Structure 1
Amino acid sequence: MPTLRRAPAALAALAALTLTACSAPANTPESAGTPGNTLTVVAPDNGLVWAIDNGFGGYEQANNLHAGLLRKPYVDSAQGRGVQQQDTYSYQPYLASGYTVSPDGLTYTFTLKEARSAAGNVLSADDVLWSFERKFASPRSVAPGVMDPSITDPARQIRKIDDRTVSFTLPNAGLGATFLALMADLAGHIFDSTLLKAHVTPDDPYAVSWSAENPNHGFGPYEMTSYRPGTSVVLTAREDFVNGPPPTRTINIRFVADAGTRANAVRFGDADLAEGLTPADLGSLASDPGVTVPEVGNPNTFVMMPLVTNKAPFDDVTVRQAMAYAVPYQQIIDNVYRGLAKRENAGFLLSDAPGYTDAGFPEYTSDPAKARELLTQAGFPGGVSFTLAVSAAEPDVLDAAKQIQTAAKAGGFDITIDEMPAAEFATQRSNHTSQAFILRDYAITLTPPYELLVYTAAESTNNFADWEYQPFYDALAAGNALPDALSAEAGLAWNATERIYLEQSPIVFIAQVQPNVAVGSDVRGYAWRSDNWVDYSNMSVGQPTDS
């Protein structure tokens, strides 16, 4: 049986944690520290954003204040040890008690539970309509891009039938699977319109600015009871949550800048969950019997290298293909990610989707000779030079960039690495100003048509490579026209679409990486989610477990 994590060295780790995190929250509930009643989390400060329509950043804490009509159920991971993961292609009622689908597959009608918000207001159809109105009206909202083409016009597509019933009508039946997935993800969160409408102003007609400072406008399992920017957050379980109060009553989150300090906090028992850990720390913790490093069967976080197609040298498809052969894939998996990553093929659609096939994909392997051959074919027998942008906030990605820089010389690429602050990196990735860049990223919604569009939508800031190709869009539209996006027939359509993408190679997909978190061995219910945020309401602290 694993040993308990408490040890004499914990005192030193606690001192280091306290120094880094400044201090514990001033109004920590009296129950904090009671075994089984409090979960202590150490995490990097990613800049909290309390609503999807006010930007997109550190959203994990807000995610635990909100709920949607549906959710993806959790199933046990093959790893055991209390680790779970979402069943990403199943959807169960959450704020809704159920839904029906019209015979033509276009209209989804939801019956609402009598849920209450953190402010005590009862969920109604008006909350659903107003939430989507706000998401599509706020200029900083990511919802319109995320929900296109399933929902593009809420006023036309969403209808109140009565106070407890609301319907959504889709452009075609083939979008149904993606729509359900979106409703189970952050885009489907419902806000308390009664509370928010009381705080609208002419300059803030949807109370977006107000809610950025007052986050308890959701129907989720927790409410925020303390927030010290840059230092800490305390979330407290809602006893009146519609699905019952979560098992862990208090969530103490401390923002700790140093990854090593976060790793030591969970190693020595001063934290139950540590996030944003480096591969080296995860590798070290994996051998500690008092710690669990979660692994899932098919992680959706990719290390990827967009090759920006609006400028040389990557305006040439053959040069892009050459770059795909110049990357040392296995070397990065082994040396940077210590084996906590994998690469099944050159693609990016998750292989466990119903109907999935990778037949006919180009086999991009580490082949410097092939890379040089293609560069010569493209008219660059002497090789090419380019600058690769990377964020200083992602040290593992920087290490991967250095591995590529060294290995790609043999393939004819002379790479200069431009390490830049996170804010500058975010700007260049949206503006497509770099020749190429490397990052970790993921699609939250995992239906094939959504994944295929998330990095390719025309005129989108999320089209990292600034690549628009009509044969690809035509193939995607053909798949969307089918009645079931998860059928074997649709699988062939998605295969044809992805094959076009890989042959054009606007992004080199390097590896899928495991979650960068660790939990104490006495913690149960850590669940990998497609949004890569932790659901605190599923977690509990108990006795160590061997299975």
Structure 2
Amino acid sequence: MSSIKHAITALMPGRRCKRVTAVAAALGVFATAGCAASANNSSTAKDTTTLTIVTPDTGVSWALDAGYGDMGPGVNTQATLLRKPYVNTDQRGVQEQDLYKYEPYLAESYTVSNGGQTYTFRLKDALSAAGNTLSADDVVWSFQRKFASATSIVPGVVAPSITDPSSQIVKVDDRTVAFTIPEAGLGATFLALMSDLTTQIFDSKLLKEHVTADDPYAVQWTTENPNYGFGPYEVTEYKPGEQIIMKARDNWVLGDIPTKTINLRFVADSGTRANAVKNGDADLAQSITPADSAELKRNSAVTIPQISNPNTYLMMPLVTNKAPFDNPLVRQAMAYATPYDQIVDNVYRGLAKRNGPGFLLDNAPGYTNTGLPNYTYDPKKSRELLAQAGFPDGVSFTLAVSAADPDTREAAIQIQTAAQSAGFDVQIEQMPASQFGEQRSNHTSQAFILRDWAVTLTPPYELLIYTAPGSSNNFADWEYQPFYDALTAGNMLPDALSDVAGRAWNAAEQIYLTQSPIVFIAQVQPNVVVSSHVSGFAWRSDNFIDYSNLRLG
């Protein structure tokens, strides 16, 4: 514990005791230690190699085949074959990914053959955190594990690009591996997947040393032993619910890392986390409420990142396997009973926006929103649709919300109030985060509200991520053959980002929105607060933070 305490107090020179006490206590640092640092080191320069992050404890998951949790630390211990480059935004110190360009990471190059269906990757001479050299065996074995693990969500995410690793992924030689995809039109999505966290490559030599009969891919072992990747950091201290300390690797494949130590502390209260950055006791805070972010927007000590086109959506799945949302007219009525602008203004204080009338990211090459239904708050239209559906006196349903997400609870209250005049009696059921996660996968609620995002941002991926047949990620349990036929037609085209393909995705999106299994309410800005002394915060499509890109001072 002494190392973590020292790392935090070193970030607080020149602070008076009364300013340090409250936040330091929340961070697990004795106030006396902060006072001593202030008294003895008032002229000491700020440490520019150690960065402190405060975050809530939502359960760390080091890889997606071990279940879905907070992947933020895991993103920084792992690496993929490709990566999306960062570009500057108009906001000082803030960057974002170029979503449709892919550059080498663990792969030094790739070639395309077989009519656009086979991608052959030549691997770099990269070392894992355990010191083992990357090989084609690592790539093949990693995908075998991702598909074999009972807790993995990867198969549903990477389909239809990859559905059978044993036949689609072939070791050419020790340094070369080839992937064959079903259709050439899936190429854009495949390359994006190769740049995203679902396709991280593991050190199979290390993991094979820890397999057992009950754990043939060492999945359980890796839940407590995170240093099996090729990413920029390794974990030197991990106490679940308390802290994680990560050190930059000297032999990372992409070179030197300016921030040598990441000091991750779990702090429950959003306001305390925001104040820690404002007061200089932390450098970055995650999961900040819109109210706290809005309050700090004019504070010169912090930066509130705002992205031109965020992919996090506030959404309301209407579960179609039970009444009343087994009727598409009732679902359409709910789309007209939702107070979109009111939620943007009152809940998110302007730190969200409507992406009307569609939900696909509208800056994708070839995108068009022609002919899409444009849902707005219209209680008269909602009542008309309910009457057509056979409910002239309205309907009642229960809306599930997570106790861990205050913004979604506030949005649910706004919906409850506004929907009354639209013919809906909404009962809000608040539940623990674990129970909420179960109901969203098991399709047991009538409806629920959450923030979520598609990690890979090609149109066919976005269209399928919440609709795949039989998937636990099919939030609304909605399966509709005309929609799947439209998707198939688009996937048969040679270029998923062409104007012709854009019209195909538009046809599928029209079906999706008209059927309205999910009400897409607003795009939400990143919920982080960053010290003005920190640069290199980069918005990523997975909405996790690349620690190796952050710089202090």
For the superposition of Structure 1 and Structure 2, which TM-score range results when normalised by the shorter chain? over 0.9
Choose the corresponding residue for 1:44, options 49, 56, 76.
56
Alignment of 1:16 onto 2:27: no
Alignment of 1:422 onto 2:422: no
Choose the corresponding residue for 2:411, options 400, 410, 423.
400
* Structure 2 equivalent of residue 224 of structure 1: 235
Query: Aligned residues, how many?
Result: 530
Matches within 5 A, 1:142-221: 142-221=153-232
In 2, Cα distance between the equivalents of 1:498 and 1:295?
27
Alignment of 1:350 onto 2:356: no
In 2, Cα distance between the equivalents of 1:7 and 1:87?
38
For each residue in 1:462-521, what CA deviation from the matched residue of structure 2 results, as whole angstroms up to 9, or x when unmatched? 111111100000000000111111111000000000000000001000000000001011
Structure 1 residues 176 and 160: CA distance shift in structure 2, 3 A:
same
Asked whether the equivalents of residues 21 and 231 of structure 1 are also in contact (C-alpha less than 8 Å), the reply is: no
In 1, Cα distance between the equivalents of 2:522 and 2:64?
28
In 2, Cα distance between the equivalents of 1:60 and 1:270?
21
Choose the corresponding residue for 2:72, options 42, 50, 60.
60
Amino acid at match of 2:237: S
* Structure 1 equivalent of residue 41 of structure 2: none
Alignment of 1:456 onto 2:481: no
* Structure 2 equivalent of residue 29 of structure 1: none
Amino acid at match of 1:188: T
Amino acid at match of 2:25: L
SS of 2:177's equivalent in the other structure is strand
For each residue in 1:69-122, what CA deviation from the matched residue of structure 2 results, as whole angstroms up to 9, or x when unmatched? 1001000112x2110001111110001111111150000011110000001000
Choose the corresponding residue for 1:508, options 507, 519, 531.
519
For each residue in 1:306-365, what CA deviation from the matched residue of structure 2 results, as whole angstroms up to 9, or x when unmatched? 111111111111111111111110000000000000002142210011111110011111
SS of 1:537's equivalent in the other structure is helix
SS of 1:416's equivalent in the other structure is strand
In 2, Cα distance between the equivalents of 1:23 and 1:493?
56
Matches within 5 A, 1:81-160: 81-102=92-113, 104-160=115-171
* Structure 1 equivalent of residue 314 of structure 2: 303
SS of 1:446's equivalent in the other structure is coil
Matches within 5 A, 1:241-260: 241-260=252-271
Choose the corresponding residue for 1:491, options 471, 488, 502.
502
Structure 1 residues 173 and 337: CA distance shift in structure 2, 3 A:
same
In 1, Cα distance between the equivalents of 2:171 and 2:21?
55
Amino acid at match of 1:368: P
Structure 1 residues 269 and 42: CA distance shift in structure 2, 3 A:
same
In 2, Cα distance between the equivalents of 1:48 and 1:295?
26
Return the offset for 1:208: 1.0
Choose the corresponding residue for 2:275, options 261, 264, 270.
264
Return the offset for 1:8: 7.5
Asked whether the equivalents of residues 14 and 265 of structure 1 are also in contact (C-alpha less than 8 Å), the reply is: no
Asked whether the equivalents of residues 307 and 436 of structure 1 are also in contact (C-alpha less than 8 Å), the reply is: yes
Amino acid at match of 1:114: D
Asked whether the equivalents of residues 233 and 246 of structure 2 are also in contact (C-alpha less than 8 Å), the reply is: yes
* Structure 2 equivalent of residue 77 of structure 1: 89
In 2, Cα distance between the equivalents of 1:324 and 1:480?
29
Provide TM-score, normalisation by structure 1: 0.95
Alignment of 1:531 onto 2:531: no
SS of 1:53's equivalent in the other structure is helix
Amino acid at match of 2:22: A
Alignment of 1:234 onto 2:240: no
- Same amino acid, percent of matched pairs: 66
Matches within 5 A, 1:430-449: 430-449=441-460
Return the offset for 1:17: 3.3
Alignment of 1:281 onto 2:292: yes
In 1, Cα distance between the equivalents of 2:18 and 2:306?
29
In 1, Cα distance between the equivalents of 2:127 and 2:310?
34
In 2, Cα distance between the equivalents of 1:113 and 1:342?
41
Asked whether the equivalents of residues 137 and 204 of structure 2 are also in contact (C-alpha less than 8 Å), the reply is: yes
Which portions of structure 1, spanning 4 or more consecutive aligned residues, are displaced by more than 2 angstroms? Answer: 5-24, 32-35
SS of 1:482's equivalent in the other structure is coil
In 1, Cα distance between the equivalents of 2:392 and 2:155?
45
Matches within 5 A, 1:319-358: 319-358=330-369
Unaligned runs of 5+ in 2: 1-10, 31-43
In 1, Cα distance between the equivalents of 2:22 and 2:124?
46
In 1, Cα distance between the equivalents of 2:121 and 2:200?
14
Return the offset for 1:211: 1.3
Provide TM-score, normalisation by structure 2: 0.94
* Structure 1 equivalent of residue 329 of structure 2: 318
SS of 2:493's equivalent in the other structure is coil
Unaligned runs of 5+ in 1: 25-31, 543-547
Return the offset for 1:49: 1.1
For each residue in 1:221-271, what CA deviation from the matched residue of structure 2 results, as whole angstroms up to 9, or x when unmatched? 100001111111001000111111211000000000000000000001111
Return the offset for 1:45: 0.8
In 1, Cα distance between the equivalents of 2:260 and 2:503?
47
Amino acid at match of 1:41: I
Return the offset for 1:12: 4.4
In 2, Cα distance between the equivalents of 1:285 and 1:485?
41
For each residue in 1:364-417, what CA deviation from the matched residue of structure 2 results, as whole angstroms up to 9, or x when unmatched? 111111111111121111111111111111100000000000011111111111
In 2, Cα distance between the equivalents of 1:180 and 1:10?
52
In 2, Cα distance between the equivalents of 1:48 and 1:59?
6
For each residue in 1:114-157, what CA deviation from the matched residue of structure 2 results, as whole angstroms up to 9, or x when unmatched? 00000100001111111111111111111111111111111111
In 1, Cα distance between the equivalents of 2:412 and 2:19?
32
In 2, Cα distance between the equivalents of 1:476 and 1:18?
53
